[in-house]
Amino acid sequence: MILALVGARAEPASPAGTLPEDYLPGLKTILQAALNQSPPVLSREIEVALSEARVLGVKAQQLPSLSSHVDYARNQTAISGNTSTETSDSGFFYGIDLNQPVFHWGALKNQTDAARINVIVAEKNYQEMRRVVAIDLRQRYLALIAKKAVLRQGRFALGLLAADLKLAREKLADGEAQPNTVKLQQLSFDEASLRLERDEADFTGQRRSFARLAGLSDFAEDSIPVEIVKPGYPVTVATELLAAFLRDGAKSTFQAQINELQVHQDDLSYQVTRVRLLPKFNARASYGLENTTNATPNSVLQEGVARQTVLLNAQWDIFDGFATTAAKREALANKRLHERALQTSVDEALDKAQALQRSLALDARAMELTEIHRQQSADDLARAQAELDLGNLPKTTVAGAQSTLYASEANNTAARATFLGHWAEFVSLTGIDPVLNNVPASHDREQR
């Protein structure tokens, strides 16, 4: 029954070759390692181990328990009113007890099944965390590329301002410029320098955050490309993925599966609570040995007494002050809560998938527009360079055109990064994220 709740997901379309790591080989290498060493993933893995350990503890209630004791003691007993009679026990005493639950109305089995569901829930949380980390790493990597493109333009532009400021100071020294002109250029340089320093600091913080999430000790700037290959928008794949996701009712998401499992777990909790006040039957067998000394006015008798016991015990809690009634109500309320959470997660997933598809269409248009601007800037730079070669334009004009091209490329890179980030999120939500295929065998509960 448990396994029926976690069936395999359908494969409506293949997004192979369309994800960010397919355009950025460096990201693919990072993803493969990060999904096994990222701190959030490792935390979820520990939770799986904890839930597996708890299953053993719960299942132990169904198994026989064996205990023993060994004592060395001296006991004296006298009959009240007959001071001449005394019994003393001295020496070693030992016993062995074997207990086995026989019939608890299915409560022990249901508790074990509920604990096993906890393991599967932990596995699903582990898978969901790997999925979320994969999306986050992709989007952060793309954001770093876009930021580096901005920094390239900012560094180049600051260099131009520095050259202009130096020239203005030289002209001021020669009496060819006004002090106010130098002050304005100094102000422009200082403002641009401040903006660049802020961007540099932000870029450094983003790299460190990315490294922590990926489980890396460091992530150097040289490891980050400055451009992204122009991605294509596979409209047909997107349409098929969304259609299959809508038909499935978003039940294929890990969060929906987790909520379904928790609903079933609430059912088991209710069944356990429902029989709490019914009699429970246990079998017991024991063996013990005692040394006994009986003293009378005329004799002293010392003997070893062995006791063997086999019994069937019935334990019945008849009234517990309505605690069972409260527990049953709590179990039913938890079930309603998780049913509501299931419906909410499904609705949110469906809305998000459709919103992402709409965003992808807009992102594709934005890419095309920034591509036009980038091409226009490249053409302007080529014309300026040709005019410079003919001696018709100064070098500063070409440098300005180069700065404009860098700005256009930064905008184009940002648009591509946004599209690929949304596309990766869309595929991960509605389809089968290829990066999740490499799951360690110890966590592959789907095959059990």
What whole-number distance in Å separates Cα of residue 312 and Cα of residue 314? 7
Q: Would you say 289 and 303 are in contact if contact means Cβ atoms under 8 Å apart?
A: no
Q: Reply yes or no on domain 3-447 having CATH 1.20.1600.10.
A: yes
Q: Would you say 211 and 219 are in contact if contact means Cβ atoms under 8 Å apart?
A: yes
Single-letter code of the amino acid located at 279: P
* Sheet of 65-79, strands arranged across: 65-79, 82-103, 280-295, 300-315
What whole-number distance in Å separates Cα of residue 346 and Cα of residue 428? 15
Instruction: Write out the chain's pLDDT in tens, 448 residues.
Output: 444 444 444 455 688 889 999 999 999 999 989 998 999 999 999 999 999 999 999 999 889 999 998 887 776 766 666 656 666 666 677 889 999 999 888 888 999 999 999 999 999 999 999 999 999 999 999 999 999 999 999 999 999 999 999 988 988 888 888 889 899 999 999 999 999 999 999 999 999 999 999 999 989 999 999 999 999 999 999 999 999 999 999 988 999 999 999 999 999 999 999 998 899 999 998 988 777 666 555 666 666 778 888 888 888 888 888 999 999 999 999 999 999 999 999 999 999 999 999 999 999 999 999 999 999 999 999 999 998 888 888 888 999 999 999 999 999 999 999 999 999 999 999 977 888 876 554 555 443 3
Q: Where along the chain do its domains lie?
A: 3-447
For 413-417, which contacts have Cβ atoms below 8 Å and span 24 or more sequence positions?
A: 413/145, 413/146, 413/149, 413/226, 413/227, 413/228, 414/146, 414/149, 414/150, 414/370, 415/363, 415/366, 415/367, 415/369, 415/370, 416/228, 416/230, 416/231, 416/367, 417/142, 417/143, 417/145, 417/146, 417/228
Beta strands in 227-378 (DSSP E): 280-295, 300-315
With CA atoms as reference, report the closest residue to 68 among 92, 93, 95: 95
With CA atoms as reference, report the closest residue to 410 among 73, 24, 152: 152
- pTM of this prediction? 0.84
What whole-number distance in Å separates Cα of residue 417 and Cα of residue 415? 5
